[in-house]
Amino acid sequence: MFNRYSLTLFAALALVLGACASATEPKPTSVPTAAPAAPSAPAAPTAAPKPAAISFSKDVLPILQSRCVQCHGGARTSAGIDLRTYASLQAAQVVTPGKASASKLVEVVVNGLMPKQGPKLTPAEIKTISDWVDAGAPDN
Ligand code: HEC
């Protein structure tokens, strides 16, 4: 495993590699592929890539339509909650725009209370809904 010498060498290498990368490689796409001794070097701190904007109509609504509206819309509106449209979702007051942690809509799918029947939403589906709320719950 690492002894003190190799750790120091490793740190120095990382520094040198980092310096080179920022000085001579402005484009992240042109990182040299054949850098020796680099595979375990920590990645240079870069800004986290912006998540693609989540669309209510393309991403969130299809989840609600396939898993929720049989009980929350149309003939049945359990708990008075209609999840068929953006407007009806707003009217249900289960979303606090920008704050998924304070939103009932997110809470019930995270804790597995909803959907009341059938399998829980997948982690990806939950993340889609949660990220959309955190992004301000836009009507997009
Ligand atoms: C099989 C019917 C059914 C399905 C499917 C269903 N619900 Fe519900 N939902 C209910 C009922 C009934 C209630 C009333 C509370 C209870 O009985 O647990 C409720 C209550 C709720 C509440 C209010 C909870 C509270 O504590 O105030 C929310 C929010 C909700 N559902 C969201 C959803 C979402 C989001 C989905 C889809 C992912 C969904 N539900 C799917 C039947 C359903």
Ligand 1, atom 31: closest residue by C-alpha: 114
Ligand 1 atom at minimal distance to the Cα of residue 70? 5
One pLDDT digit (tens) per residue for the chain, 140 residues: 555 555 454 444 444 444 444 445 555 555 555 555 555 656 666 776 665 799 999 999 999 999 999 999 988 999 999 999 999 999 999 999 999 999 999 999 999 999 999 999 999 999 999 999 999 999 99
Asked whether 77 lines ligand 1 (CB < 6 A), one says no
Ligand 1 atom at minimal distance to the Cα of residue 67? 37
Ligand 1, atom 29: closest residue by C-alpha: 105
Asked whether 99 lines ligand 1 (CB < 6 A), one says no
Q: Letter for the amino acid at 123?
A: P
Listed in order, strand segments (DSSP E) in the chain are 72-73, 76-77
**Please, which residues have CB within 8 angstroms of residue 59's CB and are 6 or more apart in sequence?**
128, 132
Instruction: Supply the pTM of this predicted model.
Output: 0.72
